[in-house]
Structure formats: structure tokens, C-alpha cells
A and B are shown apart, each in its own frame.
Chain A
Amino acid sequence: MAGKVGWYGRKRTRELALIVCFLLPSLAIFLLYRMIPLGWNVVLSFQSWSPMRPARWVGFEHYEEMFLWDDVFWQAFWNTLIWIGAAPVAIVLALGIALLVNSDLKGASVYRTIVFLSYPLMTVAVGIIWRWMYDERGGFFNWVLRSTGVIEQPLGFLASFDMALPAVIVTDIWQVIGFYMIVLLTGLQSIPQHLYEAARIDGAPARARFFRITLPMLRPSLFLCAVIGLLNSFTSFDLVYIMTNGGPGHATELLITYIYKAGFGQTKFDYAAAITVVQFSLLLVLTVLANWAAGGNAGAVERD
């Protein structure tokens, strides 16, 4: 039977086996450190458990507590959404800066470096520095505002229920804007120049060139920034923890800080697991929406 080939002899099967071999180490790590903890977390959210007592099945009790009784959860939920909503603001600002440093501006490379400098800084250090800058008595902002006569009495930025969250978000934007700018700058520099030349020859104004060429061509970079902004919103634990620890009250509480407090502050790991499930679901929904907004094939590899 010279013409018959076994399953292993098929080219496609061999290719598949090779791909699996390459993927296996990372898949094993993904399974061990992502999927199994995630699965256990979901199970835990339906149990009553702490390190000091055995697990007991309680069904939807934690979810009922969370959705119907826990106003701190709702505050943390809305704060997280507000934080997510700030990401587009940062991206727009970063795009403005990227366009500036991509132009013929004198000293553009210096400005680019200065703007990017904030990104590699440790978030904990950023949090401490900005906390002092916002300080009511000796802080930089109050000094400037009082020196220039804008205010008479110092403002307690981080002690105020209304100003604390915006103040922390401004710090977050300051830190991450350099990264967005670099991503967008790379995108801008990869746009073929002949498109702009053709548009100029056709007499297209600058505004049209921006909306018809720049923005569409930047879509992958913008999507990348949006996804990073989304993930950043869900993981901004350190900045909030250092600057306000979720306070005053719970004015700057995010889901991630509330999860930490419930788990490690009050030994409610079971309840923290339930909040984690909600946070994960929210992240999943928003990622699907972002992918849809980006055309539905973000991350796909086009084959020749």
C-alpha cells in the first residue's frame, strides 16, 4: 500500500504536533497559574471558607450580599468604571503629544524623552511623590494655588470626597501617558508618507488628512492603548493603595483594592472571590466590546 499514509505521516498532523510542542510549556504555565486558580476562585465564590475553617457550600449568598446589601461594592464598581472612562482622556492627550513630537517641532526628541520618563518610574514612588504634591499643608499644588492668589484656604485634594478620585486619576494619567505616546508615535511613523502626499496633491485639508488617513491608520495602536488602559484600570492597586488606601470613606475604592481589603484585611477570601468573579466578568465584557469597536479582528494575524 505505497500510496497510503498514516495519521502521523500527514503534513498537517505533523505541523499541528510541532505547534502543540511549542505551545505546551506556555499552555502548562497558563493552566497552572491562570486557569486552575480562576476555576478554584469561581468555586470559592460559592463557598464559605477561610484559612481557619473548612469550606462549606453557600450557593449565591456572597453574590446576594454583594449586589443587594454591599454599598461599598457598588461604590468600588462605579469608581472602577470612572477610572476606565479616564483611559480615553489619557489616550487623546497622548495622541496630541505624539502628533506634536512627530512634527517638525524643534527639540521634539527631548520632549519625547521627558514625556516618556514618567512611565518607567515605580508606581509606589509616583504615589508617594504625588501624595506629597497634593498635601494640604506643604504640597506643591496648594503652594502654587495660594501663591498665585487662586485660593486662600488650602485644598485637601486627597482628603476630599469630591477631589480624591480625580486627583488619583490625574496621577495615573501622568504616569501612563508617556507609554501611550510612544505606542501612538510608533503608529504615526509607520503610516506611509505617500498617502499624505497624495492627499495634499488632491487638495485635502489637514483636518481631512487627520480623520481620513491618520486616525484609521492608527486604529491598531489606538486599540492597543485602549486594551492597556482597560487592564490598567483593573490593576491600579498600588497607586490607590499608596495615595489614599481607598479613602476618604471609600471615595477612591476600586474593585481591586476592595478585593484585597476583603481578603487580607477581613479574612473574607470567599467574598473576595465573588467580587473577583464580577470583576473578571466586567473585564471580559469590556474586552469583547473593545474588540468589536476595533473591527472585530483585533490581534488576528493576516496570512498571505
Chain B
Amino acid sequence: MLGRRSALKASVALAASLATPAIAQTRRRISFLTWNIIDQEPLIRGWIESFQRANPGAEVEWLDKKGPELPPFYQTQLAAGTPPDVINTQGALWLEYAANGALMDLTEAIAGDPAVKSRFNAEYLANWTYQGRNFMVPFYITKTLLFYNKPLFQQAGLSGPPGSFDDILGFADRIKGGDRTGFLTLNFDWLYWPLFAMNGIELLTPDLKKTAFNTPKAAEVVEKLARASDSGAINKISWTGRWVEPNGAFGAGNVGMLHAHSPAYYFFRGQGTWVTPESLGVAHAPGGYSTPNSHGLGVSKGSRHPDLAVAFVKHVTADAQAGQLANQRRILTGNTAVDTALLAKLEKEDPTVHAILRTQIEHTDKMVGNWRTPLDSRIKEAFWPELQNALLGRKPAARALADAERRVQRELDRA
């Protein structure tokens, strides 16, 4: 006969053995892949801890990759069937993932939670839509603007920022001389496209199926840019450098204007002793045109815990977390309340950063170079080298544009 003590032990053991798999089942693990923000480790670990506290049984693994490493990593994880649940991408990279079914459609998740939908800047949120569906939400936002070197402007007899494309070239020509050049632009991810947009040039037709850039006006604009590059008015690094070289050149104090997105400020400020609130001018590019280069958060369709992943995205973009990110990095997040509070604070604390960030939420209806096509990277690769050929004087503008048209159209047709 089973003793009372033995029966008690047996029932405890049975309960424990039954409970173990249940506990194991409630443990849900997701991964969070970020784009080169390893310097924010304490902040992100804090977000993960607070998320795990609010969601018992949830575990978040954080992975961070440098820019060039992130796409290969994500693609190999997709091929292996183990994509990171939450992914942070930059620029237009997400479009290819979204169009090919790698990302989850977040439209319902956003629309179903009014508090979430209303937290985002509508223009920036719209930047993450493909075929009317939202695949990502803003994580932190940037777009291009025009920085200018006031002392060089004064030496050239100029008082304010350029108001047109021809002004840019004219001002640059007046500034150039010796080691000085007048104008520099970043060129990756279509960041130079405002120069074309302000001349009314379109890359593609509205249905994104045909090229639209090979026009006499475009040839005229490219010729002007090529001539200015040849004369030294435009620094040639505009067409050959990527990030370090152009920002470094502007930081050195020998360049009149830099067309770049807002994070460039933090780079060249660290390199140039001349950069002070009095010496640095901040303005919109003529016509208010800009190219966004923001970071977004999305959820992989292959996520094993999509609800948890969506909850994590909402957690990270909520006021508390977005506020920490905005204050720590002094960037805008696309969370309207957080950005408004940051700008109000910076207006007194750091007027230069305030002026720079202020441009990021102005003229958001004039954002260009952000075509919603999954072929973005292929079009870029077909277009840019031919444009370089013209800008650096290897081909006449008309021929380079014709060659670019042939190559871009082939990519569009093959798709």
C-alpha cells in the first residue's frame, strides 16, 4: 500500500514533470537585427529587459551588423529559413524584401492600434509603403539638406544659401580656387537626386515601368554638372567618394557647400575645428527637395512568433524608448511627440543641431529618390556608373544618358 508521504512525493514529481514542458513552451524567443548601432548597446539592452519584463516568457536576442554586412547576413538567414524576427534596414533595401514576400505586412497591426498609428509622422510612415501596404515603421529618420561654410561664402561675397540649381553652380564657381571647391554632394542611395528633381527630371514614369530621364533637360543638367566638376567648382569626390571622403573634405574647411543627410553633421563636426554655430549654415536644398535615407523596423514573414515580434516593434517605437534614442543620439525618430519634445529641448541647448533636425520634418512632401520599386538596387547599379561616366568627363552627357536608359530599361523589362 502506498504511504501518504510517498503519494505526496509522487504527485509533486508528476506535477513538476508536467509543468516543465509547459514552461518550456511558454518561453518564446525572437531575434532583433540592427544596422550598425553597436554603440547603443546599453540602450538596446534596456529596451530588451523592459520588453521581457512586460512579456513573461519572451526572450529577445540582439544582433548588430555593419551596413555592408547586414544584407548578406539577412539573405543567408532567409535562405536558411531562420530570418531574424525583427529587422532594421536603411534606405530602400526593404523594398526588395517586401516585394518578394520576406517581410510581414504590418498594415493591419498598425491600423488596428490607433495609439501606434498616430505616433508616427505620416509622411515618413508613408515612405515605408509598397503597393499601399505598410511593411515597416520608422526607427530613426533622416533626409538630405544643404550645409554651407559661412566664412567661405563671405570671402566669395555671398550672403545666403543658393535658391536654385543655377545658384548652386554659380556660388560654387565663385567659391572655388586653389584647394577650395564650391560644392560637394553625397552620392549613395540616390542622395544626389534632389539636383535632378529641382530641374524637373523624373527617373521613371509614374507606373515605374519605363525610364523617363533621358531628356534634353537632363542632358543639359548633367553637362552643367560635368563642366562644374571639371572646373573645380564641384569637388569630384561628389562622384567618387561615399561617406568618409566627402564629409572629411567638408570638415577640412575647403568646401563651400555639402549636400548630405543630417547624420553627416556629427561626422564633419568631429573633423573640422571651423564648425561652430556661427560658421555653419544650414538650409534646404533649392525647391525644398530632399532624399530620405531613414532606418525602419519590420518583421520577417518567416518569424516563428510574429505577434511577439510586432509587439517588440511597437515597444521600441513607443514614446519612452524612442525618446531615449532621440535624446541619446540627437536624432529624430519619426515619433511625432518625441521629435517635437527633442526639438523644443534642442532649440535652447544646441541651436545648430536644432536647425539641422528642423529641416528633417519640413518639406516632407518634397522627398524624392524614393521610388517604390523592388528593383531599386538594380536600377541604381545600371544608372549610376553611366552618370559617373558623364560627370567625370568620360562620355558626353547625351551618350551616357542613352546608355543608362538602355541599361535601366533592360532591368525593368527583365523584371
Contacts and interface: CB of A to CB of B under 8 A. Distances in A.
B97 interface: yes
A159 B237 contact: yes
A266 B79 CA distance: 15
Contact of A245 (B78, B242, B377): B242
Contacts of A136: 236-237
A137 B394 contact: no
A249 B78 contact: no
Interface in A120-134: none
A52 interface: yes
Given A52-B78, A136-B237, A156-B236, A248 B392 contact: yes
Interface in B244-277: 245, 249, 252, 254
B82 to A, nearest CB: 11
A63 interface: no
B76 interface: yes
Given A52-B102, A265-B377, A266-B378, A156 B240 contact: yes
B252 to A, nearest CB: 7
B289 interface: no
Nearest to A159: B240
Contacts of B101: 52-53
Contacts of B385: 72, 247, 249-250
B388 A248 contact: yes
B52 interface: no
Contacts of A51: 75-76, 78-79, 102
Interface in A137-160: 137-138, 156, 158-160
B240 A247 contact: yes
Contacts of A249: 385-386, 388-389, 392, 394
A167 to B, nearest CB: 12
B252 A69 contact: no
B11 interface: no
A69 B394 contact: no
B310 to A, nearest CB: 20
Given A250-B385, A264-B71, A137 B240 contact: no
A161 interface: yes
A135 B96 CA distance: 36
Contacts of A250: 385
A250 B385 CA distance: 7
A52 B100 contact: yes
A248 B391 CA distance: 10
Contacts of A65: 414
Interface string A59-70: 000000100010
Nearest to B98: A52
Interface string B96-115: 11001110000000000000
A53 B392 CA distance: 39
Interface in B31-52: none
A65, A136, A261, most chain B CB atoms within 10 A: A136
Contacts of A269: 75
A267 interface: yes
A50 interface: yes
Nearest to B378: A266
Interface in A228-268: 244-245, 247-250, 261, 264-268
A159 B381 contact: no
Interface in B180-207: none
A82 B140 CA distance: 45
B78 A247 contact: no
Contacts of A52: 78, 96-97, 100-102
A267 to B, nearest CB: 6
A123 B388 CA distance: 27
Contacts of B254: 137
Given A53-B100, A266-B381, A158 B240 contact: yes
Nearest to A158: B240
A249 B389 CA distance: 6
Interface in B51-82: 71-72, 75-76, 78-79
B94 interface: no
A137 B386 CA distance: 25
A250 B378 CA distance: 15
Contact of A159 (B78, B97, B239): B239
A82 B356 CA distance: 47
B240 A264 contact: no
B179 interface: yes
A53 B97 CA distance: 11
Contacts of B78: 51-52
Contacts of A137: 179, 249, 252, 254
Interface in B206-253: 236-237, 239-240, 242, 245, 249, 252
Contacts of A53: 100-101
B394 A264 contact: no
A156 B239 CA distance: 12
B363 interface: no
B410 interface: yes
A137 B389 CA distance: 21
A137 B176 CA distance: 13
A161 B394 CA distance: 7
Contact of B410 (A69, A247, A264, A267): A69
A274 B72 CA distance: 19
A266 B254 CA distance: 36
A244 B237 CA distance: 12
Interface string B384-411: 0110110010100000000000000010
A301 to B, nearest CB: 40
Interface in B278-316: none
Contacts of B72: 264
B239 A248 contact: yes
A138, A156, A247, most chain B CB atoms within 10 A: A247
A237 B239 CA distance: 22
10 contacts: A51-B75, A53-B100, A69-B410, A137-B249, A161-B392, A248-B239, A248-B240, A248-B392, A249-B386, A265-B71
Interface of B: 71-72, 75-76, 78-79, 96-97, 100-102, 179, 236-237, 239-240, 242, 245, 249, 252, 254, 377-378, 381, 385-386, 388-389, 392, 394, 410, 414
Given A249-B394, A267-B377, 15 more contacts: A52-B97, A53-B101, A136-B237, A137-B179, A156-B236, A159-B240, A245-B242, A247-B388, A248-B388, A249-B392, A264-B75, A265-B377, A266-B377, A268-B378, A269-B75
Q: Which 8 A-B pairs have the closest CB atoms?
A: A52-B100, A51-B79, A51-B78, A159-B240, A249-B385, A264-B72, A51-B75, A249-B388
